[in-house]
A = this chain, B = another copy of it.
């Protein structure tokens, strides 16, 4: 079992032990995910680009970012599990599409079209 599968299984047990499945509806989990992403964004909002690039050198800021990324991951994994979606497979499918759409020749170094991954 991969470490992502182990995390998914661990969360199922955590939720079941507390009888919290009733709260973990798709809408509620999507809201919780949006809330945690808001906290992650807030950690970076006032930094200059240069400060943000060095943010992990500050142990306190690094700890907060690790904590917020952990929270976002927990809710994303839980939402995907609830919906029966394989996170990594879904991501690879989207990256396949981006690989075809954003050809290396057409988009190298270019922000002309916003350079999304997706």
Contacts and interface: CB of A to CB of B under 8 A. Distances in A.
Interface of A: 2-4, 7, 10-11, 14-15, 17-20, 22-23, 25-28, 30-42, 44-47, 49, 52-53, 55-56, 65-67, 69-80, 83-85, 87-88, 90-95, 98-99, 102, 104, 107-111, 114-118
A70 B93 contact: yes
B23 A32 contact: no
A52 B49 CA distance: 13
B75 A22 contact: no
Contacts of A45: 27-28, 31-32, 35, 114
Given A38-B39, A45-B114, A99-B14, A7 B91 contact: yes
B38 A95 contact: no
B27 A34 contact: no
A27 B4 contact: no
A103 to B, nearest CB: 9
Nearest to A102: B18
Query: What are the nearest 6 A-B pairs in CB distance?
Result: A38-B38, A35-B42, A70-B90, A70-B94, A31-B45, A73-B91
A63 B19 CA distance: 29
